[in-house]
Amino acid sequence: MSGQPRQREDAYLDHAATTTMRPEAIEAMLPWMTSHVGNASGAHRAARLARVAIDDARDLIADLMGGDSSEIVFTSGGTEADNLAVFGAAQAIGGAAVASTVEHPAVLACVEELGGRLVAVDHHGVLDIDMLGSVLGELDRTAVVSVMTANNETGVVQPLAEIAAAIRSKAPSAVLHTDAVQAFGWIEPDGYADADLVSISAHKFGGPQGVGCLLARRPVVPRQVGGGQERELRSGTHNVAGIVAMATAAMVCAEQRANTVERVKSLRDRFVDSVTALDERVSRTLGDFDVQNTLPGHAHVCVEGVDSETFLLLLEREGVLAAAASSCASGAQQSSHVLSAMGVEASRARGALRFTLGWSSTDDDVDRALAGFESVLEHLSVTL
């Protein structure tokens, strides 16, 4: 009875949590789970074959991220890449860690553990560059500044070039790390070209869960130690199938990016325009903030007078799967630190909903999501 996959008729609008795997990626990984055996750290033929697959993937990923093959460190995903970047740079350079208040917990927890500083964002969630400047000015020495390329909840893109300039002028010793986990599938590499360290995660752009990488243009000290398999910067047996699939997904994603972005953006715009037109209780969380400043798949709205936990359950009953802020280990919805940092009133944040579209989203998904949204609103008009 348990563990049934979601019904096929569900409209899945939670692609920022994880997106559909690209068929090409599945195809690419299958041989490494069936016919090929071999630990890439070994010396014999089968091992060498695995090593070649990883190095090919490394070249491809490096190229797609605008970096050099020697700068790629494969990890178990975005969180590990973020940990390696923040702890690794703090240790390599020596000094404080600084991050924005809207970072993913994968970065925030590292900065907190290092006793670092957080820099506020404005009401759209964009980093306050002046405050970054003054924080860097106050610190004796800064090792690493971590600012995400785009936010996982709102999709808001950060001005990394300006941030990098502020770091160069106020704390030249520091490196800029960016968590590009949400952004990588959607933006060109020049979007994070100013960052010294870049984290990505395969399952956000059509690869499998459990694999990611850090592009490290500057040295980092390893965080996970052992056999040193991954260029002595990360220990643990290589996830060959995952790495191969990630590179394939990244390639397909990049090839189709222009079309996907345009198509998904128009789906997203139609969705947001329609839900906000349904009822005056539904509003755009970011107001009239230019939608050019968010990732194309992100739609963030607030519904007045209802908590998101209830709304999402009712939506699920209508066959629409979406999200709010984030879930804790128990599975409970947690109030959003991102909206709180943006100064969104708690009463409004209570009804915050995140709908995210992905490469596989269709017009039909949007139609069904709209119909479900409308049914829930009608239901609430009666029961509330």
Which residues are marked as active site? 328
Contact between 209 and another protein (CB under 8 A)? no
Contact between 375 and another protein (CB under 8 A)? no
- Could you say which residues in the range 261-320 bind another protein, by CB under 8 A? 306, 309-310, 313-314
How far apart are CB 338 and another protein at their closest, in Å?
16
Q: Which is nearer to another protein, 54 or 302 (CB)?
A: 302
Contact between 108 and another protein (CB under 8 A)? no
How far apart are CB 369 and another protein at their closest, in Å?
20
Q: Which is nearer to another protein, 141 or 379 (CB)?
A: 379
How far apart are CB 300 and another protein at their closest, in Å?
19
CA 200, chain centre distance (Å) = 7
CA end-to-end distance (rounded Å), the chain: 33
- Could you say which residues in the range 333-352 bind another protein, by CB under 8 A? 333-335
CB 21 within 8 A of CB 211: no
Q: Which is nearer to another protein, 333 or 360 (CB)?
A: 333
Contact between 1 and another protein (CB under 8 A)? yes
How far apart are CB 315 and another protein at their closest, in Å?
12
Task: Kindly state the number of chain residues that form the binding site for another protein, as judged by CB under 8 A.
Answer: 20
Q: Which is nearer to another protein, 209 or 333 (CB)?
A: 333
CB 215 within 8 A of CB 75: no
How far apart are CB 328 and another protein at their closest, in Å?
8
How far apart are CB 280 and another protein at their closest, in Å?
20
Q: Tell me which stretch binds another protein (CB under 8 A): 148-156, 266-274, 276-284, 331-339.
A: 331-339
How far apart are CB 376 and another protein at their closest, in Å?
10
Q: Which is nearer to another protein, 173 or 334 (CB)?
A: 334
Axis crossing angle, helix 105-113 with helix 78-93, rounded to the nearest 10: 30
Residue where the block lists tokens 């479900």: 372
Q: Which is nearer to another protein, 9 or 290 (CB)?
A: 9
For another protein, the binding residue among 8, 287, 292, 328 (CB under 8 A) is 328
Per-residue mark of binding to another protein, 144-183 (x: CB under 8 A): ----------------------------------------
Q: Which is nearer to another protein, 37 or 313 (CB)?
A: 313
Contact between 43 and another protein (CB under 8 A)? no
Residues in contact with another protein by the rule CB under 8 A: 1-3, 306, 309-310, 313-314, 328-335, 379-380, 383-384
